[in-house]
Chain A
Amino acid sequence: MNNIGKNYFDIGYMDTLAQGDSWLHQLDPRAKLITTLLFIIAVVSFGKYTIWAFIPFFLYPVFLIAAGGLPGGYLFKKVLLVSPFAILLGIFNPLIDREIILHIGTIGISGGWISFLSVLIRFVLTVIGALLLVALTGFNSVCEALRKLGVPKPFVIQLMFFYRYLFVLTDEAQRMERARALRSFHSGFMKYRTFVSVIGYLLLRTLDRAERIYYAMCCRGFDGQIHRLTSLKSRSRDFSFISVWLILFIVFRIYNIPEALGAWVMGCLG
């Protein structure tokens, strides 16, 4: 399967996950969107040498994955797939910041390595936070939430159109790429000239499609406004969801629970 195919099924799979029926799926999308943002803000607000204090925050993804019936391994793999960029930028930290700030036995660990590790943990938490939002909510509901939270309508409408035709266009691109691959006998990527005409044709077909869609809309009385009937109702459990997590995030942010617990255990052991 080619690259496009993989991405196509990847989006499709995330979309399938969002069709689940756990109580988390049924929460108001706004509650999940807000909580996700709170989570990310809490995580990135830590200093750059933080390591242990991040650990309690894993409660959030672990809980959502468990209670939402999501495949944790799959999501984690997705996180790993995008990690190269964070590694690329973080890896300079150990090279530049060489001051030893931590001794374990006789081994000295430089601040650079600690901040690098910190970047990686931060990365895992923030990315998985975003992925969980879609996997539990679905893109269209996220759009709905954005709309209700005051994001301008023209933007949300085209987001919806975009998501709708993402499946169609990715499929079309995949078919074109497959047809090209089957007829070219050198392995590897497309030649530049081929690429330009594949993309060019895809673009022309896209423009035609947009025209047909517009016509289809006009046929059903489109007058420049898109109306929808769906309405969101928040219930008390949506507020509880936000509040409980907010309190937990604040507690995790203020108290370094792992170090405290560790020290206590060590104290007990003598």
Chain B
Amino acid sequence: MHMADALISPAVGATMWTATAGLIAYSSKKIKQAADDRKIPLMGVLGAFIFAAQMINFSIPGTGSSGHLGGGMILAILLGPYAAFLVMASVLIVQALFFGDGGLLALGCNIFNMGFLSCFIAYSLVYRKIVGDKPTQGKIVAGSLAAAIIGLQLGALGVVLETVFSGISELPFRTFLLLMQPIHLAIGIVEGMVTAAVVMFVYQARPEILNAVSSFKPIGRLDLKKVIVGFLLAAIFIGGGLSWFASSHPDGLEWAMFKTSGKAELDSPGQLHTALAAVQDKTAFMPDYGFKNTEAASISEPEVKPVWPAIDLGTSLSGLIGGGLIFLIIFLIGFGFRRREVTT
């Protein structure tokens, strides 16, 4: 499941971006060190394969619904975690850019949820542990199944945590968790079965391919501790920094703060708004515009949870009128710059 830009806060988005960027840099370094020339075209072409394969749907027996290939686990089994992670990141980038799946800010979250958690954690800690160095049919099936299920559970947990930390969606943690995990358990089982079946298909047709990967140590070995420590540091640094930054600069409309406490406006007066108010006063652009009243109201009764005073018919109507006018202006500007449509 793709996280969407619309649901995450800049702090969460930036944290995950940093983590993902670090992982990409680290994996790229590993790939460079391994210097396996064959992998260069192989990675790209397998990415294209996953992309194409994800468009083919099959019917899930007895449910009337359809499923498709997940990808992360198959890539990890064929390429090892580092290369698989990079390929998965590419697939997600293209999906974000061309189909708008997820969006650019959420890309970090998505690469982390669907790339890192499955290629690094689920593959390294589950699949490799089960399959070991000498793959057999039974081990491959068990490993793929378990790894796919665990990978998806972790991914779903990632989505829940990122959404909850962002606070854009109102879904409480527990509800969302109870909603997501079972759904992804079902998806995970189906995906695990497909992964196992496809891997078996390759194993039977060309055993040497899988053997080559499992005997290919340097790229399969994972320095998990380093990765996790790095990630945590990045998360604390960025997350902490950004939330501090965000909290010292209140949001454009303070509804949210007023909802939680009437004091919000008092605690952090917000220089931007002071400046804005000054500008407003000078230009006398909006005689009724509510900031002064708002502040007066909240100052006078700081303990009482106030009804949002500025959101009365007046401002919402002025928002509507102003918004409509701006829209009109924007489209006129657009019309002015209109270029003949590309005809190819």
Contact = CB atoms under 8 A, between A and B. Distances in A.
Q: Does B associate with A? A: yes
A111 B280 contact: no
B45 A165 contact: yes
Secondary structure at chain B's binding surface: helix, strand, loop or mixed? helix
A41 B105 contact: yes
Contacts, number: 425
Interface string B281-321: 00001111100000000000000000010011111111111
A4 B56 contact: yes
Contact of A264 (B55, B286, B320, B340): B286
Nearest to B35: A224
Interface string A123-149: 100111111011000010010000000
Given A50-B253, A258-B319, A262-B321, A44 B5 contact: yes
A261 B280 CA distance: 11
Interface in A181-227: 188-192, 194-200, 202-204, 206-207, 209-211, 213-214, 217, 222-224, 226
A217 B41 contact: yes
B202 interface: yes
Interface string B239-274: 000000010001111111001000000000000100
A148 B49 CA distance: 27
A43 B7 CA distance: 12
Contacts of B336: 66
A86 B170 contact: no
Contacts of B287: 263, 267
Interface string B119-156: 00000000000000000000000000000000000000
Interface string A157-182: 11111111110111011100100000
Contacts of B8: 44
B2 interface: yes
Contacts of A172: 52
A16 B97 contact: no
A152 B28 contact: yes
Interface string B89-125: 1110110111111011100000000000000000000
B331 A46 contact: no
A45 B254 CA distance: 13
A253 B168 CA distance: 18
Interface in B168-224: 168-172, 193-194, 197-198, 201-202, 205-206, 209
Interface in A1-37: 3-4, 7, 10-11, 14, 16-17, 19-20, 22, 36-37
B104 A40 contact: yes
20 contacts: A36-B104, A44-B5, A44-B8, A45-B246, A47-B256, A48-B251, A63-B334, A66-B339, A70-B341, A81-B99, A89-B7, A90-B7, A92-B169, A152-B32, A158-B44, A173-B56, A190-B58, A255-B279, A259-B315, A262-B323
Interface of A: 3-4, 7, 10-11, 14, 16-17, 19-20, 22, 36-37, 40-41, 43-53, 55-56, 58-59, 62-63, 65-71, 78-79, 81-82, 85-86, 89-90, 92-93, 95-97, 99, 101-105, 111-112, 114-115, 119-120, 122-123, 126-131, 133-134, 139, 142, 151-155, 157-166, 168-170, 172-174, 177, 188-192, 194-200, 202-204, 206-207, 209-211, 213-214, 217, 222-224, 226, 253-267
